[in-house]
Amino acid sequence: MGEFVRVEVDGQIATIRLDRPKMNALNAQVSGEIAAAAAEVSGDGAIRAVIVYGGERVFAAGADIKEMAPLGVAEMAAYAARLQAALNDVAGIPKPVIAAITGYALGGGLELALCADFRVLGESAKVGQPEIQLGVIPGAGGTQRLPRLIGPAKAKDLIFTGRHVAAAEALAIGLADKVVPDAEVYQAARDMAAQYANGPAVALRAAKQAIDRGLEVDLATGLDIERLHFASLYATEDQKNGMRSFMENGPGKAVFEGR
């Protein structure tokens, strides 16, 4: 357990909890602790779904500008590489991941949220990539993950202006998957995670990897990736149980073991 990032496990759902007062700014220590948390939940087979949460007040208001401002080019290249690597570790968690967003998710905070599979926002949440207002651009995935999620034109609008986006607009443009009252954000994320916690863990991992890798390649290669994952699942107990249950009891009644 890190000083500012901890993993809390409740049943089959883990929460990666950011807790660096006052605004969960992502400094070098926090990024290292995020990477460690991602490794922990990835390696624990009992964990079936993951929530990334900054608490009731704020998700993460951005990177630590005071730490970054005095760095030179070489130092910043190394700094950015470490932050990118940490967020890549979150994106690579082989389980469903939900970002539960209250308050601000700006700059590096939004880039962290973009690494999740889904984003639940409170009604008063604000998200954005304001780096342009500092004379720089997003450096931890914003220029790459954001256009893949909402399309290049909408991503350019957010990145070129640096404006804050309210929850309703985030939902409309596909940046949020659900908007709920602020007090219900974490529970809504848990409810979403619970949909996957009893599912076939190996198949869920394969589906996530096939989708994520397929988005990076041409269609023909993506179809090859899908076919190989699909065929490999016929070596799992969950496939045998799932198809047997379907034939004997109808759809939606299988009990999966995650093997």
DSSP 159-225: HHH---EEHHHHHHTTS-SEEE-GGGHHHHHHHHHHHHHTS-HHHHHHHHHHHHHHTTS-HHHHHHH
Structure tokens at 143: 């220029």
Structure tokens at 33: 């602790």
Give catalytic residues, as residue numbers: 111, 131
Measured N-to-C along each axis, helices 152-161 and 142-150 cross at an angle, to the nearest 10 degrees, of 140
